[in-house]
Amino acid sequence: MNLEQLRSFVEVARFGNFTRAAEELYLSQPSLSRQIAALEQSLGAELFHRARGGSTLTAAGESLLPLARRMLADAESVRRELAELAGLERGRVRLGATPTLCISLVAEVLSAFHAEHPGIELHLSEQGSRGLLDELGSGELDLALIVTSDATTAERFTVTPLLVEELVVVSSAAAAPVTDGPSISLAQVARLPQIVFSSTYDLRSTTDAAFRAAGLTPEVVLEGAEMDAVLRFAERGLGVAIVPAMVLIDRPGLRAVRLEAPTLERTISLARPADVAPTAAVDVMQRTIAETATAFAGRAGETMRVAGG
Protein backbone atom coordinates (compact mmCIF):
# COMPACT_ATOMS: atom_id res chain seq x y z
CA MET A 1 0.00 0.00 0.00
CA ASN A 2 1.37 3.45 -0.92
CA LEU A 3 0.20 7.06 -0.99
CA GLU A 4 -0.47 7.02 -4.74
CA GLN A 5 -2.85 4.11 -4.30
CA LEU A 6 -4.61 5.84 -1.40
CA ARG A 7 -4.90 9.07 -3.38
CA SER A 8 -6.41 7.14 -6.30
CA PHE A 9 -8.84 5.40 -3.95
CA VAL A 10 -9.99 8.70 -2.42
CA GLU A 11 -10.57 10.29 -5.84
CA VAL A 12 -12.59 7.33 -7.15
CA ALA A 13 -14.67 7.46 -3.96
CA ARG A 14 -15.18 11.21 -4.46
CA PHE A 15 -16.33 10.97 -8.08
CA GLY A 16 -17.90 7.50 -8.01
CA ASN A 17 -16.39 7.08 -11.44
CA PHE A 18 -13.01 5.70 -12.56
CA THR A 19 -12.88 7.82 -15.74
CA ARG A 20 -13.43 11.15 -13.94
CA ALA A 21 -10.98 10.19 -11.19
CA ALA A 22 -8.33 9.29 -13.75
CA GLU A 23 -8.77 12.68 -15.44
CA GLU A 24 -8.43 14.45 -12.09
CA LEU A 25 -5.21 12.53 -11.32
CA TYR A 26 -3.80 12.86 -14.88
CA LEU A 27 -3.64 9.08 -15.18
CA SER A 28 -4.89 6.70 -17.82
CA GLN A 29 -7.89 4.68 -16.71
CA PRO A 30 -5.99 1.36 -16.95
CA SER A 31 -3.24 2.77 -14.70
CA LEU A 32 -5.81 3.91 -12.15
CA SER A 33 -7.57 0.55 -12.26
CA ARG A 34 -4.26 -1.23 -11.64
CA GLN A 35 -3.56 0.98 -8.61
CA ILE A 36 -6.96 0.22 -7.10
CA ALA A 37 -6.60 -3.49 -7.85
CA ALA A 38 -3.15 -3.53 -6.19
CA LEU A 39 -4.57 -1.75 -3.14
CA GLU A 40 -7.45 -4.23 -2.90
CA GLN A 41 -5.02 -7.13 -3.20
CA SER A 42 -2.74 -5.78 -0.46
CA LEU A 43 -5.74 -5.27 1.85
CA GLY A 44 -7.45 -8.52 0.92
CA ALA A 45 -10.80 -6.85 0.33
CA GLU A 46 -12.79 -5.30 -2.49
CA LEU A 47 -13.22 -1.54 -2.02
CA PHE A 48 -15.75 -0.74 -4.77
CA HIS A 49 -18.91 -2.21 -6.22
CA ARG A 50 -18.23 -1.71 -9.92
CA ALA A 51 -21.22 -1.17 -12.21
CA ARG A 52 -21.89 0.38 -15.58
CA GLY A 53 -23.46 3.45 -13.96
CA GLY A 54 -20.54 4.07 -11.61
CA SER A 55 -18.66 2.72 -8.61
CA THR A 56 -19.84 2.74 -5.00
CA LEU A 57 -17.93 1.89 -1.85
CA THR A 58 -18.19 -1.51 -0.25
CA ALA A 59 -18.28 -1.83 3.55
CA ALA A 60 -14.49 -2.19 3.49
CA GLY A 61 -14.22 0.93 1.32
CA GLU A 62 -16.41 2.91 3.71
CA SER A 63 -14.12 1.93 6.58
CA LEU A 64 -10.96 2.80 4.68
CA LEU A 65 -12.07 6.21 3.34
CA PRO A 66 -11.67 8.36 6.52
CA LEU A 67 -8.40 6.60 7.33
CA ALA A 68 -7.07 7.19 3.81
CA ARG A 69 -7.98 10.89 3.97
CA ARG A 70 -6.23 11.22 7.30
CA MET A 71 -3.07 9.44 6.05
CA LEU A 72 -2.91 11.68 3.00
CA ALA A 73 -3.41 14.78 5.15
CA ASP A 74 -0.65 13.66 7.54
CA ALA A 75 1.69 12.99 4.63
CA GLU A 76 1.00 16.48 3.26
CA SER A 77 1.65 17.99 6.69
CA VAL A 78 5.01 16.20 6.89
CA ARG A 79 5.96 17.40 3.40
CA ARG A 80 5.11 21.00 4.21
CA GLU A 81 6.80 20.92 7.61
CA LEU A 82 10.04 19.56 6.14
CA ALA A 83 9.96 22.19 3.40
CA GLU A 84 9.64 24.91 6.02
CA LEU A 85 12.41 23.42 8.16
CA ALA A 86 14.63 23.42 5.10
CA GLY A 87 14.25 27.18 4.96
CA LEU A 88 11.96 27.31 1.94
CA GLU A 89 9.71 30.34 1.92
CA ARG A 90 6.70 28.43 0.81
CA GLY A 91 3.93 26.36 2.24
CA ARG A 92 0.16 26.23 2.36
CA VAL A 93 -2.56 27.08 4.82
CA ARG A 94 -6.08 25.76 4.29
CA LEU A 95 -8.53 27.92 6.24
CA GLY A 96 -12.28 27.44 6.57
CA ALA A 97 -14.76 30.05 7.77
CA THR A 98 -18.49 30.68 7.95
CA PRO A 99 -20.01 33.03 5.32
CA THR A 100 -20.49 35.82 7.87
CA LEU A 101 -16.83 35.74 8.82
CA CYS A 102 -15.69 35.54 5.20
CA ILE A 103 -17.15 38.98 4.46
CA SER A 104 -15.72 40.51 7.62
CA LEU A 105 -12.93 39.08 9.77
CA VAL A 106 -11.40 36.69 7.23
CA ALA A 107 -10.73 39.42 4.66
CA GLU A 108 -8.66 41.29 7.26
CA VAL A 109 -6.85 38.11 8.36
CA LEU A 110 -5.85 37.04 4.87
CA SER A 111 -4.74 40.55 3.93
CA ALA A 112 -2.50 40.82 7.00
CA PHE A 113 -1.10 37.31 6.60
CA HIS A 114 -0.37 37.65 2.88
CA ALA A 115 1.41 40.98 3.39
CA GLU A 116 3.83 39.33 5.83
CA HIS A 117 4.12 35.93 4.14
CA PRO A 118 3.51 36.31 0.39
CA GLY A 119 5.12 32.94 -0.40
CA ILE A 120 2.52 30.97 1.54
CA GLU A 121 -0.30 29.54 -0.58
CA LEU A 122 -3.75 30.21 0.88
CA HIS A 123 -6.89 28.13 0.37
CA LEU A 124 -10.31 29.14 1.72
CA SER A 125 -13.42 27.03 2.29
CA GLU A 126 -16.66 28.91 2.99
CA GLN A 127 -19.61 27.10 4.56
CA GLY A 128 -21.45 26.50 7.83
CA SER A 129 -19.73 25.39 11.02
CA ARG A 130 -20.87 21.77 10.76
CA GLY A 131 -19.52 21.42 7.23
CA LEU A 132 -16.23 23.04 8.24
CA LEU A 133 -15.80 20.61 11.12
CA ASP A 134 -16.38 17.71 8.72
CA GLU A 135 -13.64 19.04 6.43
CA LEU A 136 -11.35 19.62 9.41
CA GLY A 137 -11.90 16.09 10.65
CA SER A 138 -11.19 14.55 7.23
CA GLY A 139 -7.91 16.44 6.86
CA GLU A 140 -9.11 18.84 4.17
CA LEU A 141 -8.53 21.94 6.34
CA ASP A 142 -5.80 23.08 8.74
CA LEU A 143 -7.92 25.62 10.64
CA ALA A 144 -11.57 26.63 10.79
CA LEU A 145 -13.25 29.76 12.10
CA ILE A 146 -16.56 28.54 13.44
CA VAL A 147 -19.48 29.49 15.63
CA THR A 148 -19.00 27.41 18.77
CA SER A 149 -21.70 24.85 19.51
CA ASP A 150 -21.97 21.53 21.32
CA ALA A 151 -20.76 19.82 18.16
CA THR A 152 -17.32 21.38 18.58
CA THR A 153 -16.55 19.72 21.91
CA ALA A 154 -15.48 16.46 20.33
CA GLU A 155 -12.08 15.23 21.45
CA ARG A 156 -10.67 15.26 17.91
CA PHE A 157 -10.71 19.10 17.78
CA THR A 158 -8.89 21.79 19.71
CA VAL A 159 -11.30 24.73 19.90
CA THR A 160 -10.10 28.16 21.08
CA PRO A 161 -12.73 30.90 21.69
CA LEU A 162 -11.67 34.20 20.09
CA LEU A 163 -14.47 36.65 20.77
CA VAL A 164 -18.09 36.94 21.81
CA GLU A 165 -20.10 38.90 19.28
CA GLU A 166 -23.40 40.70 19.78
CA LEU A 167 -26.27 40.18 17.34
CA VAL A 168 -28.08 43.40 16.41
CA VAL A 169 -31.06 44.49 14.34
CA VAL A 170 -30.22 46.36 11.14
CA SER A 171 -32.40 48.43 8.83
CA SER A 172 -31.91 50.96 6.04
CA ALA A 173 -30.14 54.14 7.12
CA ALA A 174 -32.27 56.00 4.59
CA ALA A 175 -35.52 54.95 6.31
CA ALA A 176 -36.97 56.04 9.63
CA PRO A 177 -35.51 54.28 12.70
CA VAL A 178 -37.39 51.14 13.72
CA THR A 179 -37.54 52.40 17.32
CA ASP A 180 -37.12 55.69 19.15
CA GLY A 181 -35.16 54.11 21.97
CA PRO A 182 -31.57 52.82 22.26
CA SER A 183 -32.75 49.20 22.01
CA ILE A 184 -35.60 47.09 20.68
CA SER A 185 -37.38 44.05 22.10
CA LEU A 186 -37.59 40.74 20.30
CA ALA A 187 -41.39 41.08 20.31
CA GLN A 188 -41.08 44.39 18.43
CA VAL A 189 -38.69 42.83 15.93
CA ALA A 190 -41.14 39.97 15.32
CA ARG A 191 -43.76 42.51 14.14
CA LEU A 192 -41.40 44.10 11.61
CA PRO A 193 -40.93 42.79 8.04
CA GLN A 194 -37.91 40.56 8.39
CA ILE A 195 -35.26 39.12 6.07
CA VAL A 196 -34.00 35.75 7.29
CA PHE A 197 -31.04 33.64 6.29
CA SER A 198 -30.76 30.31 4.55
CA SER A 199 -31.41 27.33 6.82
CA THR A 200 -27.73 26.35 6.46
CA TYR A 201 -26.66 29.41 8.47
CA ASP A 202 -25.89 28.99 12.17
CA LEU A 203 -27.37 32.47 12.61
CA ARG A 204 -30.71 31.20 11.36
CA SER A 205 -30.75 28.46 13.99
CA THR A 206 -29.87 30.98 16.71
CA THR A 207 -32.60 33.48 15.80
CA ASP A 208 -35.24 30.80 15.18
CA ALA A 209 -34.52 29.35 18.63
CA ALA A 210 -34.79 32.79 20.26
CA PHE A 211 -38.19 33.48 18.69
CA ARG A 212 -39.49 30.02 19.63
CA ALA A 213 -38.31 30.43 23.23
CA ALA A 214 -40.18 33.74 23.44
CA GLY A 215 -43.32 32.25 21.87
CA LEU A 216 -43.04 34.58 18.88
CA THR A 217 -43.55 34.11 15.15
CA PRO A 218 -41.64 36.69 13.08
CA GLU A 219 -43.18 38.39 10.05
CA VAL A 220 -40.88 37.09 7.32
CA VAL A 221 -40.84 38.90 3.95
CA LEU A 222 -37.84 37.07 2.49
CA GLU A 223 -36.35 33.73 3.48
CA GLY A 224 -33.25 31.84 2.36
CA ALA A 225 -30.88 34.68 1.49
CA GLU A 226 -27.09 34.64 1.87
CA MET A 227 -25.31 37.20 4.07
CA ASP A 228 -24.33 39.73 1.42
CA ALA A 229 -27.82 39.65 -0.08
CA VAL A 230 -29.45 40.08 3.35
CA LEU A 231 -27.38 43.21 3.99
CA ARG A 232 -28.12 44.66 0.55
CA PHE A 233 -31.86 44.02 0.91
CA ALA A 234 -31.85 45.66 4.35
CA GLU A 235 -29.97 48.67 2.94
CA ARG A 236 -32.70 49.07 0.31
CA GLY A 237 -35.47 49.01 2.91
CA LEU A 238 -36.96 45.60 2.13
CA GLY A 239 -37.01 44.71 5.82
CA VAL A 240 -34.92 44.32 8.95
CA ALA A 241 -32.43 41.56 9.75
CA ILE A 242 -30.68 40.22 12.83
CA VAL A 243 -26.95 40.07 12.08
CA PRO A 244 -23.59 40.07 13.88
CA ALA A 245 -22.35 43.56 14.74
CA MET A 246 -19.10 42.75 12.93
CA VAL A 247 -20.70 42.95 9.47
CA LEU A 248 -21.59 46.62 9.98
CA ILE A 249 -17.99 47.64 9.29
CA ASP A 250 -17.88 49.62 6.02
CA ARG A 251 -21.70 49.47 5.68
CA PRO A 252 -22.82 53.14 6.02
CA GLY A 253 -26.15 52.30 4.38
CA LEU A 254 -27.29 50.38 7.47
CA ARG A 255 -28.63 51.59 10.81
CA ALA A 256 -28.26 49.27 13.82
CA VAL A 257 -30.03 48.95 17.13
CA ARG A 258 -29.28 46.63 20.02
CA LEU A 259 -31.73 44.03 21.27
CA GLU A 260 -33.16 44.41 24.77
CA ALA A 261 -32.19 41.79 27.34
CA PRO A 262 -31.90 38.94 26.92
CA THR A 263 -29.50 39.93 24.14
CA LEU A 264 -28.37 37.46 21.49
CA GLU A 265 -24.68 36.61 21.19
CA ARG A 266 -22.47 34.11 19.44
CA THR A 267 -18.95 32.92 20.19
CA ILE A 268 -16.43 32.89 17.36
CA SER A 269 -13.83 30.16 17.85
CA LEU A 270 -10.81 28.78 16.03
CA ALA A 271 -10.75 25.00 15.60
CA ARG A 272 -7.96 22.70 14.48
CA PRO A 273 -7.40 18.93 14.56
CA ALA A 274 -6.26 17.85 18.03
CA ASP A 275 -4.11 14.99 16.73
CA VAL A 276 -2.10 16.94 14.10
CA ALA A 277 0.73 19.28 15.09
CA PRO A 278 0.41 22.59 13.20
CA THR A 279 3.11 23.47 10.69
CA ALA A 280 5.05 26.70 11.08
CA ALA A 281 2.79 28.44 8.54
CA VAL A 282 -0.38 27.25 10.30
CA ASP A 283 1.01 28.36 13.65
CA VAL A 284 1.66 31.86 12.28
CA MET A 285 -1.85 31.93 10.80
CA GLN A 286 -3.31 31.08 14.21
CA ARG A 287 -1.50 34.04 15.77
CA THR A 288 -2.58 36.34 12.93
CA ILE A 289 -6.21 35.31 13.40
CA ALA A 290 -6.11 35.90 17.17
CA GLU A 291 -4.48 39.34 16.82
CA THR A 292 -6.81 40.42 14.00
CA ALA A 293 -9.91 39.24 15.88
CA THR A 294 -9.01 41.40 18.87
CA ALA A 295 -8.49 44.49 16.70
CA PHE A 296 -11.59 43.73 14.64
CA ALA A 297 -13.79 43.46 17.74
CA GLY A 298 -12.76 46.99 18.70
CA ARG A 299 -13.61 48.31 15.24
CA ALA A 300 -16.97 46.51 15.30
CA GLY A 301 -17.82 48.14 18.63
CA GLU A 302 -17.02 51.61 17.31
CA THR A 303 -18.97 50.95 14.10
CA MET A 304 -21.94 49.81 16.16
CA ARG A 305 -21.83 53.04 18.17
CA VAL A 306 -21.84 55.15 14.97
CA ALA A 307 -24.48 53.02 13.20
CA GLY A 308 -26.77 53.19 16.18
CA GLY A 309 -26.34 56.93 16.53
Residues 6 or more apart in contact with residue 252 via CB below 8 angstroms = 173
Please write the tens of the pLDDT for every residue from 200-213.
787 888 899 999 99
More confident residue, 102 or 222: 222
> According to the model, what pLDDT value does residue 201 have?
80
**Per-residue DSSP letter, 166:** E
Number of Cα atoms under 13 Å in the Cβ half of residue 275: 11
Please tell me the pTM assigned to this model: 0.62
Please write the tens of the pLDDT for every residue from 85-109.
554 466 789 999 988 888 778 988 9
Please write the tens of the pLDDT for every residue from 71-89.
998 888 887 766 665 544 6
More confident residue, 189 or 249: 189
Task: Tell me if residue 40 falls in helix, strand or coil.
Answer: helix
Number of Cα atoms under 13 Å in the Cβ half of residue 133: 21
Rg (CA), the chain: 23
> According to the model, what pLDDT value does residue 303 have?
52
> According to the model, what pLDDT value does residue 151 have?
46
Domains assigned to the chain: 3-65 (1.10.10.10), 80-161+268-295 (3.40.190.10), 164-266 (3.40.190.290)
Residues 6 or more apart in contact with residue 225 via CB below 8 angstroms = 195, 196, 197, 198, 233
**Per-residue DSSP letter, 278:** P
Peptide bond between residue 177 and the one before it cis (omega within 30 degrees of 0)? no
**17 in Cβ contact with 57 (< 8 Å):** no
Phi, psi for 196 (deg, rounded to 5)? -120, 155
Which of 124, 147, 116, 113 lies closest to 246 in space, CA to CA? Answer: 147
SS3 content of the chain, % helix, strand, coil (to 5): 50, 25, 25
